[in-house]
Amino acid sequence: MNKIIGTLLIAFISTVSLNCYSESDVESLSPELRALLKQEMLAIQEGMKNIVPAFASGNLKEVSGIAGKISKSFILKQKITDTQKHELHQKLPKAFILKDKEFHKYAGMLEHVSEKGHTELVGFYYSKLLESCIGCHSEHASHRFPTLINEPAKGTHHH
């Protein structure tokens, strides 16, 4: 009996640790693509920060402008070669691409509702965007943010 539990435990533990280390997909990208990805991340973060004073002062037009820039900042839409596009699709798991799409979709929604002046929805989509950061980082960037390793991912979650 104890043997069975022991075997199950070992099987369980090795599955868990496999999951923890499977995010090296991003680390396997070429230096050029990783540089672009980082650039995009820093731009997104800057946009998220700038939205706060714009929103707080009731400048929804500016919120809309910033959200529009975030929504169009797809790394896949950057000036990259076809070979690099192929590399992204080959090395990044489908779950990553889906999370990225979802993130940009929320940014598009934020652009839209702030343009229309729907203040309460602006707060809603802003929080959706924030959740997306954690949702993707905990699964695909824990090499960069080790404290997120045990954070349950939100949104599209496939295991």
Query: Which of 144, 149, 157, 158 touches ligand HEC by CB under 6 A?
Result: 144
By CB under 6 A, is residue 136 in contact with ligand HEC? yes
Alpha carbon distance 153, 53 (integer Å): 28
Place of tokens 């690099």: 84
Alpha carbon distance 146, 10 (integer Å): 24
The span of 30-38, 75-83, 108-116, 118-126 binding ligand HEC (CB under 6 A) equals: 30-38
By CB under 6 A, is residue 48 in contact with ligand HEC? yes
Nearest to 52 by CA among 62, 38, 39, 37: 62
Query: Which of 19, 28, 45, 127 touches ligand HEC by CB under 6 A?
Result: 45
Q: Which of residues 89-118 bind ligand HEC (CB under 6 A)?
A: 96, 99-100, 103
CB 91 within 8 A of CB 32: no
Which residues, at least 6 apart from 30, have a Cβ–Cβ distance to it below 8 Å?
Answer: 84, 87
By CB under 6 A, is residue 75 in contact with ligand HEC? no
The span of 10-18, 57-65, 75-83, 135-143 binding ligand HEC (CB under 6 A) equals: 135-143
Place of tokens 């929320």: 106
- What are the residues binding ligand HEC (CB under 6 A)? 26, 34, 37-38, 41-42, 44-45, 48, 96, 99-100, 103, 129, 132-133, 136-137, 140-141, 144
